[in-house]
Amino acid sequence: MMDVEVIENSNKCARCNYCRVCPIYTVEGWESASPRGKLYTIKSLVNGEIDVDARVVKELFKCTTCGSCEVICQVEIPLINLWENFRAHLNSKGYILPVHKKLREKTFREWNPYGESREKRADWFKDLKNLTSTNSDLLYFAGCTASYRTLSIARDTVELFNKTGLDFNYAGVDEYCCGSPFLRTGQRDLAQKLFLKNYKKWKEMGIRRIVTSCAGCYRTIAKDYPKIAEKLDYDFDFEVLHTVQILDEIVDEIDFEDVDVKATYHDPCHLGRHMGVYEEPRRVIEKMGIELIEMEKNRENAFCCGAGGGVKSQFKELALAIGELRVKEALNTNADYLISCCPFCKLHISQSLNNFDKNINVLDIVEVVIRTLNK
C-alpha cells in the first residue's frame, strides 16, 4: 500500500512549473524528467492509468534528492520526503535499479557501497605519522568517501584536530557506512541495519558527540538516525556536527598565513538545503583572508553537483552533465579555488572538471585550512 501522504502531496501540485530549476530537467529537458512530470507520473500510477514498468521506475529514480524543487515549490509540497517515500514504496514492491542492487550487495559484504575491503577502511589513519586519537567522547566519523576515495580530507581533518588540540575518538574498521545512499534510494531495511551497527559501536565507545566530513553522513546521522532510533525505541542522545561547524567555532584561534587567493563556494545539497548550513563555511573562508566570489546560484538556490540520490552510480553520464554545469558556473567566477564541504561533492566535481581546458583547484574546506595555516 502506498503512503497516503505521497498520494495527498502528489495531488497538491499546482502545475506552475517553477520546479524546472531541477538539475535533471535542466539536462534532460523532458517534462517527465521535471518534478512536476514525476508527480504526474506518480498520480497516473496511483489512479491506475499507467502500469509500473522498468522504464517508469528508471525515470522516477532520476533525482539527486537535491531539494531545489522543495525550496521553490509554490504550494510547499515536502518533495524530498515524497521522492524518498515513493522510492521506498517501489523498493517494497521489488523494484530496484541494477546498480543500486549492486551497491546493496557490496555493502552487505564490506559495509561500504564502494565494495572496498572493510579491513582497509582505517588504512588512511594508520598511515598518519605522529597523529593520534584518544578515548574522547567526540567521534570523528570519516565516512566511506573520505575513507576510500578522497583520503586527504580525512587526513587533513585529523591533522587539524591534532594541531588545534581537539581530542577525538575514531572507530577504525568498526565505522560502517552511515546508510545515506540507501535512505535516498528507498532501501530503508539496509539503512536500519547500518544504523544499528554504528549505534552499538558508539554506545560501546562512550560517544556523546559525532563530527562528520561528509554532508550526506551529516544529514543522515543528524536527521535520519533520530527517526530510525525512535522507530526502534532506542534513545538517540548524540550531538551531531559537521566539521565546518567546529571550524566556525575555532577559526578565530587559528593563525593563518597572508594569502592572495580568490575562491568560490559550492553548497552541498545535504549541508545547505537539507540542513540549513550556509553561513558557517562562508565565514571560515573569509576569516582565512580568502576573497569569496559567489557563483550565480548559491545558498538555497545552489545548483546540485549531480552526484546524490544514487544518480552518480546508476546514471553516470547524467551526473557528469549536471556536474559540468556546476563547474561552468564556478569557472565563470575566475576563482583559484572551488571549495566545498563534502568528500562526495569534491570527488564528483573533480571528475566533472576533466572535460574543461580551464582549471580550478577543487578542495574541501579542511584542505584549504591546512594549506593556509601559518607553519
The residues binding ligand SF4 (CB under 6 A) are 13-19, 22-24, 35-36, 39, 63-69, 72-75, 77, 79, 83
User: Closest separation between CB of residue 78 and ligand SF4, Å?
Assistant: 11
Residue with Cβ nearer ligand SF4 (18 or 234): 18
Neighbours of 289 (CB within 10 A): 13
Residue with Cβ nearer ligand SF4 (38 or 121): 38
**Measured distance CA(252)–CA(247) in Å, rounded:** 9
336 near 361, Cβ under 8 Å? yes
Residue with Cβ nearer ligand SF4 (154 or 216): 216
User: Closest separation between CB of residue 291 and ligand SF4, Å?
Assistant: 30
Would you list the DSSP string of 48-64?
A: TSS---HHHHHHHT---
180 near 190, Cβ under 8 Å? no
233 Cβ contact partners less than 8 Å away, ≥ 6 residues apart = none
User: Closest separation between CB of residue 26 and ligand SF4, Å?
Assistant: 9
Residue with Cβ nearer ligand SF4 (15 or 129): 15
Residue with Cβ nearer ligand SF4 (18 or 278): 18
User: Closest separation between CB of residue 74 and ligand SF4, Å?
Assistant: 5
Q: Nearest-CA neighbor of 347 among 338, 359, 358?
A: 338
C-alpha cell at 111: 559495509
Residue with Cβ nearer ligand SF4 (74 or 134): 74
Could you give the angle at the alpha carbon of 280 between the alpha carbons of 279 and 284, nearest 5°?
115
Residue with Cβ nearer ligand SF4 (41 or 147): 41
Q: Nearest-CA neighbor of 164 among 239, 252, 245?
A: 252
Neighbours of 147 (CB within 10 A): 28
User: Closest separation between CB of residue 176 and ligand SF4, Å?
Assistant: 26
**Measured between alpha carbons, how far is residue 172 from residues 141, 202, 279 in Å?**
9, 12, 31
User: Closest separation between CB of residue 273 and ligand SF4, Å?
Assistant: 9
**Measured distance CA(302)–CA(135) in Å, rounded:** 39
User: Closest separation between CB of residue 149 and ligand SF4, Å?
Assistant: 23
